[in-house]
Amino acid sequence: VQKVREAANRMKCQNNMKQLALAFHSYESANGRFPQAWVLGALARNYVQVLLPHVEQDAVHRQYRFDLNWKAPENRAAVMVD
């Protein structure tokens, strides 16, 4: 049973990595460049926020306030991870 669980977890991780790679390439196709790894300054954010629409997370992307820092209370629900 443990081996089956481990195999399922491996497959899930592999699928997540494939989805992330596809999101990067989708972003590049739409914008002509890959996203920056991290944007520093008052509106600090990382590439995860800009990739959300490319991993079928449009609702979270719409909820995210890009005019605020990613740590702002208004963005708390959008950046929380289960």
Computed over every residue of the chain, the mean pLDDT equals 81
User: What pLDDT shows up at residue 25?
Assistant: 93
d(CA 40, CA 45): 7
Question: Mean pLDDT throughout 52-71?
Answer: 80
- 38: amino acid identity, one letter: W
Could you tell me the pTM of the whole model? 0.64
The alpha-carbon radius of gyration of the chain (Å, integer) is 15
Closest CA to 55 of 31, 82, 21: 21
Residue 60 vs residue 48, higher pLDDT: 60
What integer pLDDT is reported at residue 82 of this predicted model? 44
| Residue 64 Ramachandran class (φ > 0 left, ψ -120 to 50 alpha, else beta) | beta
> Could you tell me which residues come within 8 angstroms of residue 19 by beta carbon, excluding any fewer than 6 positions away?
55
